[in-house]
Amino acid sequence: MKYSESKTVWIMLLLAISVNLLQSCSKDFIDVESNQETESALTSDRAPELVNAVYNSLLAWEVSSFAWTGLTSIASDDADKGSILSDTGVDKHLLDALDISPTLLSVADVWRGHFDAIQRANQALNRIEQFDDMDEELQSRLLGEAKFLRALFYFRLVQTYGGVPVITSINSLDDINEDLLTRATTEETYAFIEQDLIEAIESLPEKSEYPTSELGRATKGAAKALLAKVSMYQEKWEQVKILTNEIIASGEYGLTPNYEDIWKESSENNIESIFEIQSRGEDPAAGVDKYSTIQGARGEGGWGWGFNTPSQDLDNAYENGDTRRQATIMFAGETLYDGRVISINAPNPRYNQKAYSSALTEAEITGKNVRLLRYAEVLLMNAEAAAVIGGDVSTPLNQIRQRAGLEPTTATSQLAVWEERRLEMAFEHDRYFDLVRQGRASTVLNSKGIPFQTGKHELFPIPQEQIDLSGGVLTQNPGY
């Protein structure tokens, strides 16, 4: 009896110890802290960083590099695919020939890249709006910057695809429904862009009102210039005129005396710059992904892949004495301003000088700032508005011509502005959409053997994979 009594005591004791151990330790023991920053790190003091991450999207391959160059430039009459025959750049030969289908990688890349960027803008906007403990002026400015960027991304989408789903919220797996995936009309998309820009204009400071350390952020002038361009695409000429006049009158901007200098490292963010992608080449690099490499000279002595080469047609379009020809085109055999020699044996006769970065390294990310909005374009929009609804065309137009080393012109037609615009803005991701906007894409392109079909090629197709993934809620553009 004693034996089993002590046995019971033992068991009870051991059980008591074990149960105690079980109860107290287990939960505490496995509750460990994460050692990486998670969503909870997004507090109001990180508000500027949330917006910086939206700017960071501008550096992405899909947003600014190969696919965007392909759609805006290679597809147009300004550029050829370039490079060597066997290197198609996946689908750039098809873009060059305007042989476009919904399965092209470039079409899918631009779509994805811009919606990723919009998601970041939505993260910044939705979160910063909720912060109730931050400096109101800063909060307003940051919201303005994010709205400017969101408008820029949507504008590029509506230029490329027409109306797209307009998404302003942060969504999870459970939020996905038909409404969210349905395309807005082109008009609705433009209305949304305009609203973002109007709000941005209200809350953004002028370029000169920013501290120097913040150079490169979206400004009131930038929002106005973008709104002017958005208005131009909708032929709201009154609005174009008012906005461009305001920018001209602001005194914030002017023209760079020498056209070629605009794309040099030394001219980054200069007087002519309204908005440009800030690219840092030094380690740690924060530049536009391979922008210069893709368009760099190929082959012997080259440093790039040789894509997006200026066409013979563009070369022929410059008048004698137009300094923009040498500034836009690097010719095989040419010695550049920094002493770099383009081999005479390069596989292509011409390369895009506006993408050239003088940094003599093999780095794929260079410090090349990509100029998105500059004062010259404001003048051209101002001139074009005047040409349509009346006003002074010559003053702004001849400012442009004079800087290019050309005699003033007396022409004041919209066509004259268009012709000037092509030469001034070549390789600035404008030409293809500009021709479509002007309504003469088929005339101009067909005459140069590019098979533009009216009613189809005004827009690029919605990526097929995305239509499939939406279960057919996303609809395809006509003709594809």
Partner 1 sequence: MNFKHTFLLVVLLVTQIIWSQSTRNGVITSENGTPIPGASVTIENTARGVQTDFDGQFSIEASNGDVLVIRYLGFTEEKVTVNANQTTYNIILQEDVNQLNEVVVVGYGTQRKEVLTSSVAQIRGDELVEESVLNATQALQGKAAGVQVIASDAPGQASRVVIRGLGTVQGGRDPLYVIDGVLTDNINNINIADIESINILKDAASLAIYGNRGANGVIIVTTKKGKTGKLQVKFNTYTGVRDILRTVDMANAEQFVIYSNEAALRDLLNDNDPTNDNDFSNFLPTNQQYDTNWLDEITRIGLIRDYYLSLSGGDEKINAFFSVGFNEEEGILLNNDFNRLTVRSNVDYKITEKLNFSHKVGVQLATGSPQSFGLFTSAYKQAPIIPARLDDGTFGSSIAINNVANPLIDATNAFKREKNKFFKVQGAFQLDYEVFDDLTFTSRFSIETEYGRFYNFRNRLGRFLADNPSNTESSFEGGIENPSKTRLTITHTNTYRWFIDNYFTYKKTFFDKHNIDVTLGITAEENQSEFLSATRNNVPLDSNLNFNLNNGDQNDTQSNSGAISVTDRLYSYLARLNYNYDGKYLLGGSFRRDGSSRFQDGSQFGNFYALSTGWVVTEEDFFSDTAFDILKLRASFGQLGNQNVPFNIITATTGSGGFYAFGPNQELQQGITITGTVQEDLSWEVTEETNIGLEYTLLDYRLSGEIEVYKRVNTNAILEIELPDVIGFDPFNSAVGEVENKGIEFSLNWSDKIGEDFSYSIGGNFSFNENKISKVTNPFFNEQLGGFINNGEYTKKITVGQSLGSFFLYEVEGIDESGDFVYRDNNNNGIVDEGDRKFFDSYLPKYYTSLNLSMNYKNFDFSTDLFGSFGNQIYNGKKAQRFGNENIELSTFNNRYTSGQPSNTTPRAFNDVPISSDYYLESGDFIRVNNVTLGYTLPEKTLKYFTKMRIYASARNPLIWQRFSGFTPELPGDPLGGAGIELDAYPTLSSFYIGLNTSF
Q: Given candidates 48, 299, 302, 391, which one binds partner 1 under the rule CB under 8 A?
A: 48
Nearer to partner 1, 50 or 417 (CB): 50
Structure-block tokens of residue 215: 């150079």
Restricting to residues 56-75, which ones interact with partner 1 according to CB under 8 A? 56, 59
C-beta separation of 217 from 207 below 8 A: no
- What is the SS3 assignment for 142? helix
Nearer to partner 1, 42 or 332 (CB): 42
Q: Which region among 65-73, 248-256, 278-286, 349-357 touches partner 1 (by CB under 8 A)?
A: 278-286
Restricting to residues 289-328, which ones interact with partner 1 according to CB under 8 A? 303
> Using CA atoms, how far apart are residues 134 and 122, in angstroms rounded to an integer?
19
278 binds partner 1 (CB under 8 A): yes
> Using CA atoms, how far apart are residues 157 and 168, in angstroms rounded to an integer?
15
Restricting to residues 218-277, which ones interact with partner 1 according to CB under 8 A? 269
CA dihedral 176, 180, 183, 185 (to 10 degrees): 180
Residues 6+ apart with CB under 8 A from 231: 194, 237, 239, 240, 243
Query: Long-range pairs for 197-203 at CB < 8 Å and ≥24 separation?
Result: 197/147, 197/148, 197/151, 197/223, 197/226, 197/227, 197/230, 198/227, 199/143, 199/144, 199/147, 200/144, 200/145, 200/147, 200/148, 200/151, 201/144, 201/227, 202/144, 203/140, 203/141, 203/143, 203/144, 203/147
> Using CA atoms, how far apart are residues 413 and 393, in angstroms rounded to an integer?
8
Q: Given candidates 9, 12, 14, 341, which one binds partner 1 under the rule CB under 8 A?
A: 14
Q: Given candidates 284, 316, 339, 449, which one binds partner 1 under the rule CB under 8 A?
A: 284
Nearer to partner 1, 288 or 425 (CB): 288
Nearer to partner 1, 115 or 259 (CB): 115
Stretch 337-376: interaction string toward partner 1, x if CB under 8 A: -----------------------xxx----x---------
Q: Given candidates 116, 199, 206, 364, which one binds partner 1 under the rule CB under 8 A?
A: 116
Smallest gap from Cβ 364 to partner 1, in A, equals 13
- What is the SS3 assignment for 136? helix
Residues 6+ apart with CB under 8 A from 280: 286, 287, 367
Structure-block tokens of residue 51: 């917006």
7 binds partner 1 (CB under 8 A): yes
Q: Given candidates 198, 286, 317, 336, which one binds partner 1 under the rule CB under 8 A?
A: 286
Stretch 394-433: interaction string toward partner 1, x if CB under 8 A: ----------------------------------------
Direct distance between the N- and C-terminal alpha carbons of the chain, in angstroms, rounded to an integer: 93
Smallest gap from Cβ 140 to partner 1, in A, equals 19
Restricting to residues 443-472, which ones interact with partner 1 according to CB under 8 A? 463, 466, 469-471
Restricting to residues 191-220, which ones interact with partner 1 according to CB under 8 A? 212-217
Q: Given candidates 34, 130, 316, 320, which one binds partner 1 under the rule CB under 8 A?
A: 34
332 binds partner 1 (CB under 8 A): no
1 binds partner 1 (CB under 8 A): no
173 binds partner 1 (CB under 8 A): yes
> Using CA atoms, how far apart are residues 183 and 97, in angstroms rounded to an integer?
28
12 binds partner 1 (CB under 8 A): no
Q: Given candidates 1, 5, 8, 22, which one binds partner 1 under the rule CB under 8 A?
A: 22
Structure-block tokens of residue 20: 């105690």
29 binds partner 1 (CB under 8 A): yes
